[in-house]
Amino acid sequence: MKKTIILMIKFYQTFISVILKNILGVNKMCRFSPTCSEYAKRTISKEGLFNGVKKSTMRILRCQPFIEF
Amino acid sequence: MGDFFNTFLNNPIINILLALYHIFSFMHIPYSLGFAIIGLTIVIRFILYPLTKSQLEASAKMQKVVPHLSKIKEKYKGDNTRIQQETMRIYKEQGINPAAGCLPVLIQMPLIWSLYYVLQRVVGFKTNLDVSGINKLAYFDFLKLHHVWNTTFFGLSLGAMPSKLMSSVGPLILLVPILTGVFQFLLSKMMIPAKTEVAILEKDIEKKTEIDKKDAGDFASAFQTQSMFIFPIMIGFFSFSFPIGLSLYWNTFTIFGIIQQYKVMGWGGLSEWIKKK
């Protein structure tokens, strides 16, 4: 399960993210470093599926105009 | 969920399309539907303009501070909260508005998708059944269609795919996917910063890429750099097998994107070619 999720994130990083950037015409759209997907990959492999997904979801939700980071 | 999309995205878009179609046919403009599609795309792009503009500007500024950020990453390696603090400080100094985040970008996706969905339905119109179906969605009586609209555009049926037209129109139809690919390539090329800027950045970035390369596989980074070529080819291939009406939408979308990119960031990676001429 953990491996599948990480594989999916890698697929997203390699293909989907690049395609999205091309469609929307943005080069760099992250306020966080490392990017959310990279962060998700790391936390999931380090802290397990449940904690990793929880932390990454919170992080994605924080990436919006109404919350200062 | 489907209802939500219909009420808030698809139906308003259908009504804008109907309104534009009526305006254009009232003005006796030929190929009203084709121009209505172009108009609709431009309307949507203008609605999205504030979002994309701020995003483009932020992205341009962010690219400039990449060297600073990699230095910080090196300096405070392992101390993530410190890195985050220092990053924020630099953003503030450079006047980058971190308040935007990625939400404005993600908001655009459903709209782009919805436009695709509506057009894909609309260009295939043939029978009165289709007409009564769309009339049910019209907000006002004057937006309703009285007869099946003409789906041709300069002699080509908007609902036909270039792949099917090869036999009747001949190889000239290949211009549609080729042009679609070319426009996409121009936009992708413009997105890459001009060489002079890159040269300054490169020295500083070298360190950073060393760190990054450990994470990303060779194939991934290859795809990243090659996407400038791969993506236009992909889009060209799509447009070969999709109805022409959708290529019309996509090209309007891309050309608007090119103009927008030029207004905000200049020619970018294209400037080296333009100067040579």
- Taking only the tens place, the pLDDT of each residue in B131-163 is 788 888 888 888 887 777 777 888 788 888 888
Cβ distance B52 to A24 less than 8 Å, yes or no, reads yes
pTM: 0.77
Residues of chain A positioned with their CB less than 8 A from the CB of B98? 31, 68-69
Burial of B98 (0-12, 13-18, 19+ CB in 10 A): middle
The three-class DSSP label of residue B221 is helix
Instruction: Identify the segments of chain B with pLDDT beneath 50.
Output: 196-200, 202-204, 206-207, 210-211, 213-216
Cα B57 to Cα B59: distance, rounded to the nearest angstrom = 5
Q: A4-13: per-residue pLDDT in tens?
A: 888 988 888 8
Rounded average pLDDT over A1-20: 84
Interface of B with A in 8-47 (CB under 8 A): none
Q: Is B77 helix (H, G, I), strand (E, B) or coil?
A: coil
CB contact under 8 A, B63 and A18: no
* Paired sense of beta strands B156-157 and B152-153, if any: antiparallel
User: Cα–Cα distance between B269 and B275 in angstroms, integer?
Assistant: 11
- Does B239 contact A at CB distance below 8 Å? no
Q: What is the domain count for chain B?
A: 1
- pLDDT number for residue B78: 76
Of B84, B109, B191, the CB nearest to A25: B191
Asked if A64 and B216 come within 8 Å (Cβ–Cβ), the reply is no
Query: Does B267 contact chain A (CB < 8 Å)?
Result: no
Task: Determine, for residues A63 and B231 on separate chains, whether the beta-carbon distance falls below 8 Å.
Answer: no
Which of these, A52, A42, A41, lies nearest to A6 by C-alpha position? A41
For residue B118, the enclosing domain spans 2-276
